[in-house]
Structure 1
């Protein structure tokens, strides 16, 4: 296998995941982050079976670090049970567990697995130029870096995407989330059951995250220019909802409240140039309606690692083959997330079909007669160029 020098822009979930994967295959990898330290913002992340399987194959196992979930319950806003699912069965059928983990801990775990010097902070990418035998990145501080391949993992406002592809930025969907990660005395915080509550014009979720932490979120229609709600307003809007929701809102303050609008990227046919590609939110940012954004990012990193480990093909052939293989799957997930959000359905509403849906849409897991499922990663996928 030819060793390549790979430049990764962005030290979020995708950037750190691909760095771990490629370093494990013997490549020389440098990750450049425009912040001065790891970004520890955000609440919790639900890493489904496809995500935990991808992480494990990339060399990072969070099974013991995160909080394993074993069931999922969905109620109406009046407290009527809609459905309940056994996630242990999903784990058994798909061969990998569902784990809830604070985003900051996932980031720290992946960063800690990297060798000294692989992460560089305070390096904001401002320009990308590709040449027959190398790619060059210019940074805001006047420095530059040269490599064989460039991977843009710099999020929904990706500079790499803008530089390499141009085009429109991600567009708002008309919904937004108000969320937080707080310590709680509520019984749901100490269990292993996710609680989803579906209303006519809003959704709510409570997810135990381990060590008494509770990840909570409220999804509601919102458009740019609207005011952002306070906790006091949320208390009024969700008055009369099931007890845990009322109790939670009584215990938190505006300092606990995070806000982010839902957005969606148009997924292009080609994701880069002769020596560049994208992964994660840089290429397919999607609303959180099916809780797959981070998981699809991890799948990107897993598949790209497989193609970059192949001894055959030029960098351009390997990168286009990764995109050609990945795009149909992630496009389906993105469309499902957008449709689910637009129709105001509860996330993963048809949970009884979730294992099959996940296997069908995932390149990391496959469903085989209700057993086994981590697809063999050898031999490597066949190279194809669009």
Structure 2
């Protein structure tokens, strides 16, 4: 195996996950983050069975730090039960649990698992140049870094994607979320059940996150130029919704409220150049409707680690093979998220279909069942090119 100098741009979930995987494989990894410290913003992350399985393969166990979810319940805005999924059954069938964890905690645990000299803060990537035998990353402070390979994990506004792939930026979907992560005395915060409530033109959800923390969100149609609602305005919009919606909104303030518009990327056929590739939101940003964005990022990191575990010379064939494997499944999940976001009154994750839906779109789960991915990784080496 050839040891590579790998430059990872972005110290979010994807950048830290791939760094853990590649350090474990013996590569020399450096992670560059534009912020001055690890980012602690965001609310909770639902790490489904595919995500926890990927993390385990990367050497990270989040179960002690998060809240295992045992059921998923969906109601209409009038309180009628739509469906309920037994996540214990999913855990048993797929071999990994669903865990809710604060985003900041997941980031901290991924970072703590890395050697101290891997992370570099205050380094904003402004350009990437590939050469036949190396790649150079330029930073806003005038410095640069040289490596054998660059991985763009720099989110929906990825500079790496812009320079090596091009194309249009992520586009808004017409929806947005108002969300938070707060301490709560509500019974739902002490349980193990996700509650989703769907109306014709609005949606909300509540997820226990452990230690009395409750992750909550409110989704509404929104486009650029529309006002960003306050808690008082959310109380008016969601007045009369099933409990504990009104009780929750009565307990939070504008200081607890985070806002983000939903966006979606066109997923390109090729994700990089001869010495570059992408993962996570840099390549397939999607609406949060099926809570799979972070999980798909973790699957990217896991699969790319597998392909780069045995590099012999030119990495390009391995990069293109990784992209060929990931693109069809990431694209299916992105499409499902977009469809679910647009049809909020008809959620897709029915009880009978949920375990199969998750398993058939997961490379990690496919490996567990001995399917195509395992054969691809253990037989003949992939060839250059994208079909």
* Shared fold (TM-score, shorter chain, > 0.5): yes
1:67-112 residue CA offsets vs partner (Å, 9 max, x unmatched): 1000111111111111111100000000000000000000000000
The whole-number CA distance in structure 2 between the counterparts of 1:180 and 1:339 is 24
The whole-number CA distance in structure 1 between the counterparts of 2:318 and 2:366 is 23
Shift of 1:378: 8.1
Match of 2:377 among 366, 376, 380: 380
Where does residue 244 of structure 1 map in the other structure?
244
1:10-42 residue CA offsets vs partner (Å, 9 max, x unmatched): 000000000000001110000000000000100
Where does residue 8 of structure 2 map in the other structure?
8
Contact kept in structure 1, 2:76 and 2:345, CA below 8 Å: no
Correspondence 1:91-170 to 2 at 5 A = 91-170=91-170
Q: Does 1:228 align with 2:225?
A: no
Stretches of structure 1 lacking an aligned partner (at least 5 in a row) = none
Where does residue 61 of structure 1 map in the other structure?
61
Contact kept in structure 2, 1:364 and 1:374, CA below 8 Å: no
1:42-69 residue CA offsets vs partner (Å, 9 max, x unmatched): 0000000000000110111112221100
Contact kept in structure 2, 1:291 and 1:347, CA below 8 Å: no
Contact kept in structure 2, 1:274 and 1:316, CA below 8 Å: yes
SS in 2 for 1:337: helix
Shift of 1:217: 0.5
Correspondence 1:296-307 to 2 at 5 A = 296-307=296-307
Shift of 1:314: 2.0
SS in 2 for 1:178: strand
1:266-290 residue CA offsets vs partner (Å, 9 max, x unmatched): 0001000110000000000000111
The whole-number CA distance in structure 2 between the counterparts of 1:252 and 1:276 is 44
SS in 2 for 1:352: coil
Deviates more, 1:7-16 or 1:62-71: 62-71
Correspondence 1:329-340 to 2 at 5 A = 329-340=329-340
Contact kept in structure 1, 2:10 and 2:32, CA below 8 Å: yes
Where does residue 35 of structure 2 map in the other structure?
35
Deviates more, 1:171-180 or 1:304-313: 304-313
Stretches of structure 2 lacking an aligned partner (at least 5 in a row) = none
Superposition TM-score, scaled by structure 1 size: 0.96
Q: Does 1:253 align with 2:253?
A: yes
1:92-147 residue CA offsets vs partner (Å, 9 max, x unmatched): 00000000000000000000000011000000001111001100001111111000
SS in 2 for 1:207: strand
SS in 1 for 2:247: helix
Contact kept in structure 1, 2:184 and 2:212, CA below 8 Å: yes
Deviates more, 1:350-359 or 1:106-115: 350-359
SS in 2 for 1:31: strand
Q: Specify whether residues 224 and 27 from structure 1 end up closer, same or farther in structure 2 by C-alpha distance, changes over 3 A only.
A: same
Deviates more, 1:111-120 or 1:62-71: 62-71
Shift of 1:310: 2.3
Where does residue 81 of structure 2 map in the other structure?
81
SS in 2 for 1:365: helix
Contact kept in structure 2, 1:53 and 1:374, CA below 8 Å: no
Cα RMSD after superposing both structures: 1.6
The whole-number CA distance in structure 2 between the counterparts of 1:373 and 1:97 is 17
Contact kept in structure 2, 1:52 and 1:61, CA below 8 Å: yes
Superposition TM-score, scaled by structure 2 size: 0.96
The whole-number CA distance in structure 2 between the counterparts of 1:117 and 1:196 is 42
